[in-house]
A and B are shown apart, each in its own frame.
Chain A
Amino acid sequence: SQQGEEDPQALSIQEGENATMNCSYKTSINNLQWYRQNSGRGLVHLILIRSNEREKHSGRLRVTLDTSKKSSSLLITASRAADTASYFCAPWGNTDKLIFGTGTRLQVFP
Protein backbone atom coordinates (compact mmCIF):
# COMPACT_ATOMS: atom_id res chain seq x y z
CA SER A 1 0.00 0.00 0.00
CA GLN A 2 1.15 3.54 -0.70
CA GLN A 3 -0.13 4.85 2.64
CA GLY A 4 2.13 6.97 4.79
CA GLU A 5 2.30 6.58 8.53
CA GLU A 6 2.67 9.75 10.60
CA ASP A 7 4.50 9.89 13.88
CA PRO A 8 3.84 10.95 16.57
CA GLN A 9 0.08 10.56 16.67
CA ALA A 10 -0.17 13.63 18.86
CA LEU A 11 2.15 16.48 19.77
CA SER A 12 1.72 19.34 22.24
CA ILE A 13 4.05 22.34 22.35
CA GLN A 14 4.15 25.96 23.46
CA GLU A 15 3.92 28.88 21.08
CA GLY A 16 7.32 29.78 19.72
CA GLU A 17 8.66 26.24 19.85
CA ASN A 18 9.38 24.13 16.77
CA ALA A 19 7.19 21.17 15.84
CA THR A 20 8.54 18.16 14.00
CA MET A 21 6.35 15.47 12.47
CA ASN A 22 7.55 12.38 10.68
CA CYS A 23 6.16 10.24 7.90
CA SER A 24 7.27 6.75 6.91
CA TYR A 25 6.18 4.78 3.89
CA LYS A 26 6.91 1.39 2.37
CA THR A 27 7.20 1.57 -1.40
CA SER A 28 9.11 3.76 -3.85
CA ILE A 29 7.55 7.13 -4.60
CA ASN A 30 7.50 9.92 -7.16
CA ASN A 31 6.58 12.61 -4.69
CA LEU A 32 5.27 13.14 -1.19
CA GLN A 33 2.73 15.75 -0.15
CA TRP A 34 1.87 17.26 3.24
CA TYR A 35 -1.58 18.56 4.14
CA ARG A 36 -3.08 20.35 7.13
CA GLN A 37 -6.60 19.93 8.48
CA ASN A 38 -8.16 22.29 10.98
CA SER A 39 -10.73 20.68 13.24
CA GLY A 40 -13.92 19.79 11.35
CA ARG A 41 -12.71 21.26 8.06
CA GLY A 42 -11.27 20.01 4.80
CA LEU A 43 -7.59 19.37 4.12
CA VAL A 44 -5.35 22.09 2.78
CA HIS A 45 -2.26 21.35 0.71
CA LEU A 46 0.98 22.59 2.29
CA ILE A 47 3.88 21.38 0.22
CA LEU A 48 4.91 18.79 -2.37
CA ILE A 49 8.42 17.37 -2.47
CA ARG A 50 9.60 15.30 -5.41
CA SER A 51 11.64 12.12 -5.04
CA ASN A 52 14.75 13.81 -6.43
CA GLU A 53 14.54 16.63 -3.86
CA ARG A 54 15.96 16.37 -0.36
CA GLU A 55 14.61 19.52 1.24
CA LYS A 56 11.99 22.14 0.53
CA HIS A 57 10.92 25.30 2.31
CA SER A 58 7.72 27.28 2.36
CA GLY A 59 7.54 30.14 4.87
CA ARG A 60 7.90 28.57 8.34
CA LEU A 61 7.64 25.05 6.92
CA ARG A 62 10.60 22.87 6.12
CA VAL A 63 10.13 19.44 4.59
CA THR A 64 12.85 16.85 4.16
CA LEU A 65 12.75 13.62 2.23
CA ASP A 66 15.07 10.64 2.61
CA THR A 67 14.15 8.07 -0.02
CA SER A 68 16.79 5.63 1.22
CA LYS A 69 15.02 5.50 4.59
CA LYS A 70 11.57 5.93 3.04
CA SER A 71 10.81 8.78 5.37
CA SER A 72 9.94 12.47 5.39
CA SER A 73 9.69 15.09 8.08
CA LEU A 74 7.73 18.31 8.39
CA LEU A 75 9.20 21.01 10.61
CA ILE A 76 7.14 24.02 11.62
CA THR A 77 9.36 26.70 13.12
CA ALA A 78 8.24 29.26 15.69
CA SER A 79 4.82 27.63 16.09
CA ARG A 80 1.71 29.72 16.64
CA ALA A 81 -1.62 28.82 18.19
CA ALA A 82 -3.09 29.00 14.67
CA ASP A 83 -0.89 26.04 13.67
CA THR A 84 -3.05 23.81 15.87
CA ALA A 85 -4.38 21.22 13.41
CA SER A 86 -3.87 17.68 12.14
CA TYR A 87 -1.12 17.11 9.62
CA PHE A 88 -1.13 14.36 7.01
CA CYS A 89 1.46 13.03 4.63
CA ALA A 90 0.56 11.43 1.31
CA PRO A 91 3.34 9.57 -0.48
CA TRP A 92 2.63 8.94 -4.15
CA GLY A 93 4.06 6.24 -6.36
CA ASN A 94 2.80 4.93 -9.67
CA THR A 95 -0.84 4.64 -8.67
CA ASP A 96 -3.90 6.59 -9.67
CA LYS A 97 -4.84 7.92 -6.22
CA LEU A 98 -3.51 9.56 -3.09
CA ILE A 99 -3.77 7.62 0.14
CA PHE A 100 -3.69 9.41 3.49
CA GLY A 101 -2.75 8.11 6.90
CA THR A 102 -4.25 8.95 10.28
CA GLY A 103 -2.22 12.11 10.75
CA THR A 104 -0.40 13.88 13.58
CA ARG A 105 -2.56 16.05 15.85
CA LEU A 106 -0.60 19.16 16.78
CA GLN A 107 -1.69 21.33 19.69
CA VAL A 108 0.09 24.65 20.15
CA PHE A 109 -0.59 26.33 23.49
CA PRO A 110 -0.44 30.13 23.76
Chain B
Amino acid sequence: DVKVTQSSRYLVKRTGEKVFLECVQDMDHENMFWYRQDPGLGLRLIYFSYDVKMKEKGDIPEGYSVSREKKERFSLILESASTNQTSMYLCASSLAGGGTGELFFGEGSRLTVL
Protein backbone atom coordinates (compact mmCIF):
# COMPACT_ATOMS: atom_id res chain seq x y z
CA ASP B 1 0.00 0.00 0.00
CA VAL B 2 1.12 3.49 -0.84
CA LYS B 3 2.63 5.36 2.04
CA VAL B 4 3.93 8.84 2.82
CA THR B 5 5.40 9.08 6.28
CA GLN B 6 6.07 12.29 8.14
CA SER B 7 8.55 11.82 10.94
CA SER B 8 6.77 13.78 13.66
CA ARG B 9 3.05 14.28 14.20
CA TYR B 10 3.52 16.96 16.84
CA LEU B 11 6.47 19.23 17.54
CA VAL B 12 6.98 22.11 19.93
CA LYS B 13 9.94 24.38 19.27
CA ARG B 14 11.20 27.72 20.52
CA THR B 15 11.62 30.87 18.47
CA GLY B 16 14.96 30.89 16.69
CA GLU B 17 15.44 27.12 16.71
CA LYS B 18 16.30 25.26 13.53
CA VAL B 19 13.54 22.80 12.69
CA PHE B 20 13.64 19.80 10.37
CA LEU B 21 10.47 18.19 9.10
CA GLU B 22 11.12 14.90 7.36
CA CYS B 23 8.98 13.15 4.78
CA VAL B 24 9.57 9.73 3.25
CA GLN B 25 7.58 8.01 0.51
CA ASP B 26 7.83 4.38 -0.50
CA MET B 27 6.24 4.63 -3.95
CA ASP B 28 9.27 5.64 -6.04
CA HIS B 29 7.51 8.90 -6.89
CA GLU B 30 9.42 11.61 -8.71
CA ASN B 31 7.43 14.50 -7.30
CA MET B 32 7.20 15.65 -3.71
CA PHE B 33 5.51 18.68 -2.14
CA TRP B 34 5.34 20.58 1.11
CA TYR B 35 2.18 22.48 2.04
CA ARG B 36 1.16 24.32 5.15
CA GLN B 37 -2.43 24.50 6.29
CA ASP B 38 -3.90 27.26 8.42
CA PRO B 39 -7.52 27.90 9.41
CA GLY B 40 -9.25 30.11 6.87
CA LEU B 41 -6.30 30.01 4.47
CA GLY B 42 -6.50 26.45 3.20
CA LEU B 43 -3.41 24.67 1.95
CA ARG B 44 -0.56 26.77 0.65
CA LEU B 45 2.36 25.33 -1.29
CA ILE B 46 5.77 26.04 0.20
CA TYR B 47 8.18 24.11 -2.01
CA PHE B 48 8.12 21.17 -4.38
CA SER B 49 10.62 18.92 -6.09
CA TYR B 50 10.51 17.01 -9.35
CA ASP B 51 13.72 15.10 -8.96
CA VAL B 52 16.60 14.44 -6.63
CA LYS B 53 18.46 17.65 -5.82
CA MET B 54 15.83 19.68 -7.66
CA LYS B 55 13.58 22.18 -5.89
CA GLU B 56 11.07 24.77 -6.92
CA LYS B 57 9.53 27.55 -4.88
CA GLY B 58 5.85 27.41 -4.23
CA ASP B 59 3.64 30.30 -3.21
CA ILE B 60 5.10 30.94 0.26
CA PRO B 61 8.78 29.88 0.36
CA GLU B 62 10.00 32.71 2.60
CA GLY B 63 11.51 31.43 5.83
CA TYR B 64 11.79 27.86 4.55
CA SER B 65 14.28 25.75 2.64
CA VAL B 66 14.18 22.15 1.45
CA SER B 67 16.49 19.27 0.76
CA ARG B 68 16.06 16.30 -1.55
CA GLU B 69 19.22 14.22 -1.47
CA LYS B 70 17.43 10.91 -2.10
CA LYS B 71 14.38 10.24 -4.21
CA GLU B 72 12.28 8.96 -1.34
CA ARG B 73 13.02 11.74 1.14
CA PHE B 74 12.03 15.42 1.09
CA SER B 75 12.93 17.56 4.06
CA LEU B 76 11.52 20.94 5.02
CA ILE B 77 13.84 23.17 7.02
CA LEU B 78 12.96 26.19 9.10
CA GLU B 79 16.31 27.91 9.57
CA SER B 80 15.11 30.08 12.44
CA ALA B 81 11.60 29.23 13.55
CA SER B 82 9.20 32.06 14.24
CA THR B 83 5.78 32.07 15.89
CA ASN B 84 4.06 32.77 12.57
CA GLN B 85 5.32 29.41 11.35
CA THR B 86 3.08 27.63 13.84
CA SER B 87 0.97 25.52 11.53
CA MET B 88 0.06 22.10 10.19
CA TYR B 89 2.59 20.93 7.62
CA LEU B 90 1.58 18.40 5.01
CA CYS B 91 3.90 16.47 2.74
CA ALA B 92 2.67 14.85 -0.47
CA SER B 93 4.05 12.88 -3.36
CA SER B 94 2.86 12.01 -6.85
CA LEU B 95 3.97 9.82 -9.70
CA ALA B 96 2.89 12.22 -12.42
CA GLY B 97 3.97 15.83 -12.56
CA GLY B 98 1.81 18.87 -11.94
CA GLY B 99 -1.79 17.82 -11.39
CA THR B 100 -1.97 15.04 -13.93
CA GLY B 101 -2.26 12.44 -11.21
CA GLU B 102 -3.35 12.17 -7.63
CA LEU B 103 -1.32 13.36 -4.68
CA PHE B 104 -0.66 11.05 -1.76
CA PHE B 105 -0.44 12.89 1.54
CA GLY B 106 1.21 12.12 4.83
CA GLU B 107 -0.67 12.46 8.12
CA GLY B 108 0.74 15.90 8.76
CA SER B 109 3.11 17.48 11.29
CA ARG B 110 1.61 19.99 13.67
CA LEU B 111 4.31 22.46 14.64
CA THR B 112 3.98 24.91 17.49
CA VAL B 113 6.61 27.63 17.83
CA LEU B 114 6.69 29.32 21.23
Which A residues lie at the B interface, using CB under 8 A?
A: 30-31, 33, 35, 40-45, 48, 88, 90, 92, 94-103
Q: How far is the CB of B102 from chain A (nearest CB, A)?
A: 4
**CB pairs A–B below 8 angstroms (10 shown):** A30-B100, A42-B90, A42-B108, A43-B92, A48-B101, A88-B42, A96-B50, A96-B97, A98-B99, A100-B43
Of all chain A residues, the one with the shortest Cβ separation from B90 is A42
Is there contact, CB below 8 Å, between B108 and A41? yes
Q: Which of B87-109 contact A (CB under 8 A)?
A: 88, 90, 92, 97-108
Give which listed residue, B43, B56, B99, contacts A33 with CB less than 8 A. Answer: B99
Taking CB atoms, residues of chain A closer than 8 Å to B33 are 97-98
Q: How far is the CB of B23 from chain A (nearest CB, A)?
A: 11
Q: How far is the CB of A64 from chain B (nearest CB, A)?
A: 19
Give which listed residue, B88, B92, B102, contacts A48 with CB less than 8 A. Answer: B102
Residue B45 interfacial (CB < 8 Å) = yes
Report the interface size class on chain B.
20 to 34
Given contacts A97-B33, A101-B42, 14 further A-B contacts (CB under 8 A): A43-B103, A44-B105, A45-B103, A45-B104, A48-B101, A94-B98, A95-B98, A96-B50, A97-B45, A98-B45, A98-B99, A98-B103, A99-B45, A102-B41
Is there contact, CB below 8 Å, between B104 and A90? no
Residue B74 interfacial (CB < 8 Å) = no
Is there contact, CB below 8 Å, between A31 and B40? no
Is there contact, CB below 8 Å, between A95 and B106? no
Contact A97 B99, CB 8 Å, known A42-B90, A42-B108, A43-B105: yes
Q: How far is the CB of A13 from chain B (nearest CB, A)?
A: 22
Taking CB atoms, residues of chain A closer than 8 Å to B41 are 102
Q: B33-74 CB contact bits vs A (8 Å, 1 = yes)?
A: 101000011110100101000001011000000000000000
